[in-house]
Amino acid sequence: MAVVTYACRGGGYWLFRQIRPTPAIRGVLDYLPGTLFVSYVVPGLLSGGLQQWLAALATVLAMVATRQFAWAIAAGTATAWVAWYLT
């Protein structure tokens, strides 16, 4: 398991080093960070309920307002907790 995981961590970049990346590949990589986390978060939110959407909204608002991860995470989790108790 450790080997397989490291093969994924290091292997992607190792392969990348062996090829000469075209502008198309660079263009795709440029968008990858955002789309990867979107693909993570959206199905997760859909499997939850209204409470999760409210908490997600609170996280975004707090992050936009404060630009501090600690506040955003605290606001989101607190909202999830409150919404969970109320419903």
CB 80 within 8 A of CB 51: yes
Task: Supply the DSSP symbol for 48.
Answer: S
Nearest distance in Å: CB 50, other proteins: 13
SS3 of 25-43: the string is HHHHHHHHHHHHHHHHHHH
Nearest distance in Å: CB 54, other proteins: 10
Chain contacts with other proteins (rule: CB under 8 A): 1-2, 4-6, 8-17, 21, 24, 27-46, 51-52, 55-56, 59-60, 63-64, 68-70, 72-73, 76-77, 80-81, 83-84
